[in-house]
Structure 1
């Protein structure tokens, strides 16, 4: 049966409008429909939405993000919305934790921390968001032959940060039920940090696996992105500390 699209008023005979893409059958919003369809189906549906995206980020991270960047986006959760949700969720969960990252630092280190180091330890989630354009610059430089533009590298590293936020949330949940600072320090510095670095290498290795790099070059460049970030962070930290001392 032919009728007009409620969005653009074009005549349609199929399930979707050929002019604007809206579904031909729309509905009046109700609390029941919002809960049953828009929330449960749109967000938590197993083959489309946030759960599908999170599953893909931890089973085939590079391949899934590359598909998203190249246009296969219907099943994936938008990276900006995902980041905002995860930051909000991390903040809520952190409220119930007995510890924060600063509590895991040795007392001697706390006394010598610069303002930059205090910011990174007191606001780790905000700091993670700040690192997105920095990581994007490094991945853009190391994988310039892949021909992805800087904006596409921003998308890639936004999903990387989303995965890191999820890993951080898991660690925060542990701190709610377990408060041994010594053990948690080992888990965080020797475990979580190594996991995030390994994940980063895995993500880049998969994402650029179809960009014409040899196996050795692909692995080397995947490793060098986080290494470059660590080197620059170390240098910036030293320079910041020197200027901080001169300021006093």
Structure 2
């Protein structure tokens, strides 16, 4: 009986350890993590698609709790991005990865990755964004306590900025040894211009439809 219990506890610990290891690697070494995954070194990581759904669910729950405890005044002054993401989160989930993958496929042609492999890098980018959004939800909840609100509002802005920059961080981390700094910078810049233009179109369409 104790052997079975130890096996179960060991399995749970292994799953949890791999889960947090995957989160840490995505957050601090997103590009390398994606390239390792593409190279077949997957046993050390959680399945990215499963993780995507888990983080997506946690973000929905986190935002729900924020809405529940925040005052009407705080909700009215809330970030438009946060409101937009909560309303159109499913669309965002399905659009970001193809957009990143398709553009990166042409911009980083020298790497000779196929479109599916670029989608993996896009998935890691989105995972990082969702991790930062989840941290942001936690920070926002703590920031509802007035004595620390200014400090946590500052942290909130930093996390938001990092979430915007995370795709750039991912591609830089993945390809920094394969391109010159200038070559990598202009490619990332073009990627953001294309993503920004398409995002504006998508937002305009969503607002028009809904």
Q: Same fold (TM over 0.5)?
A: yes
Q: Which residue in 1 is equivalent to 2:11?
A: 38
Superposed CA offset, 1:123-159 (max 9, x none): 3542431221122112222112211111111111111
Match of 2:166 among 199, 216, 238: 199
Q: Which residue in 2 is equivalent to 1:157?
A: 122
CA distance in 1 between partners of 2:159 and 2:77 (Å): 13
Residue 200 of structure 2 corresponds to residue 234 of structure 1? yes
| TM-score, normalised via structure 1 length | 0.67
Superposed CA offset, 1:28-50 (max 9, x none): x956633x122211x222xxx11
Residue 185 of structure 2 corresponds to residue 208 of structure 1? no
CA distance in 2 between partners of 1:227 and 1:102 (Å): 30
The structure with the larger Rg is: 1
- Cα distance, 1:135–1:148 mapped onto 2, change above 3 Å: same
Q: How big is the alpha-carbon RMSD for the aligned residues of Structure 1 and Structure 2? A: 3.3
CA distance in 2 between partners of 1:38 and 1:217 (Å): 45
Q: Which residue in 2 is equivalent to 1:64?
A: 33
CA distance in 2 between partners of 1:122 and 1:166 (Å): 15
Match of 1:55 among 6, 15, 24: 24
| TM-score, normalised via structure 2 length | 0.77
Shift of residue 176, structure 1, vs aligned partner: 2.0
Shift of residue 75, structure 1, vs aligned partner: 0.8
Match of 1:77 among 23, 46, 55: 46
Match of 1:169 among 134, 144, 160: 134
Aligned pairs, number: 199
Structure holding more helix per residue:
2
Shift of residue 69, structure 1, vs aligned partner: 0.7
The 8 Å contact of residues 66 and 207 in structure 1, kept in 2 or not, is answered as yes
- Cα distance, 1:230–1:104 mapped onto 2, change above 3 Å: farther
CA distance in 1 between partners of 2:193 and 2:58 (Å): 29
Shift of residue 186, structure 1, vs aligned partner: 7.2
Name stretches of at least 5 consecutive residues in structure 2 with no aligned partner: none
CA distance in 2 between partners of 1:231 and 1:180 (Å): 37
CA distance in 2 between partners of 1:103 and 1:192 (Å): 20
- Cα distance, 1:103–1:169 mapped onto 2, change above 3 Å: farther
Q: Which residue in 2 is equivalent to 1:142?
A: 107
